[in-house]
Amino acid sequence: MIEKLWAWVVHPPVTGPRATLLIRLMAGGVFFWEGLLKFVYVNQGEGRFVKLGFPFPVFTAHFVGGLEIVGGILLMLGLGTRLIAIPFIVEMVVAMLSTKPRLFLGTSPLPPPPVPPQVGLWAVLHEIRSEYAQLMSCIFLLVSGPGPSSLDAWLLSGEEASAGNAAAIPVRPPLESERRRVGGR
């Protein structure tokens, strides 16, 4: 079971539309620069995690920032696409669950949005748009794979060529005399 799951993750389909590259560049680019921001601006990194009450906020901010930088680059290159999509999906769900219910209730420790709506359903729907787009993009890449314009496709084509060379060795069918000897006739 685990072997099948691992094979599914590391051998994604790469025959999708070439436009999949655009989804990878969008999602990967956003993760990359958001990861950088966690190191450049304290209020986006450790300060945010302190306000939200995360345990070990400095470690968490650096871990998430590093994941976003490295993972964003991997998504843009299309390398390990399914593998990196999984933690990004988890990250987006955690981001939504740790901030949006409190925004809905008006109890968020983060600064409110600069313009109305600032609390309630409409505020949540407005503020969740980025996480929602990232979540849907990563689910798409998890299901569809990185597309043909990716390092995953290039690496898998090399594997198939290697496997194809071994499979291309012609095997002749047994001769009639050989079949009789084996079958006892």
pLDDT digit string, tens, across residues 80-120? 999 999 999 999 999 999 999 999 999 999 888 888 899 99
- The set of long-range contacts for 64-69, using a CB threshold of 8 Å and a minimum separation of 24, is 64/35, 64/38, 64/91, 65/35, 65/36, 65/37, 65/38, 65/39, 66/35, 67/35, 67/91, 68/31, 68/32, 68/34, 68/35, 68/38, 69/31, 69/32, 69/35, 69/36
Instruction: Please check the confidence at residue 161 and state whether its pLDDT lies above 50.
Output: yes
pLDDT of residue 54: 93
Q: How confident is the model at residue 152 (pLDDT cuts 50, 70, 90)?
A: very high
Kindly tell me the burial class for residue 108, based on how many C-beta atoms sit within 10 Å of its own C-beta (0-12, 13-18, 19 or more): buried
pLDDT of residue 184: 53
pLDDT of residue 112: 87
Closest CA to 148 of 22, 3, 1, 8: 22
Q: How confident is the model at residue 158 (pLDDT cuts 50, 70, 90)?
A: confident
- For tokens 């993009």, name the residue: 137
Q: Where are the beta strands (DSSP E) in 89-179?
A: none
pLDDT of residue 170: 47
C-alpha 99/C-alpha 97 separation (Å) is: 6
Q: How confident is the model at residue 166 (pLDDT cuts 50, 70, 90)?
A: very low
Q: Where are the chain's structural domains?
A: 13-153
pLDDT of residue 115: 87
Q: How confident is the model at residue 159 (pLDDT cuts 50, 70, 90)?
A: confident
What is the number of other CB atoms lying within 10 angstroms of the CB of residue 91?
Answer: 19
Tell me the pLDDT tens digit for each residue of 19-78. Answer: 999 999 999 999 999 999 999 998 899 999 999 999 999 999 999 999 999 999 999 999
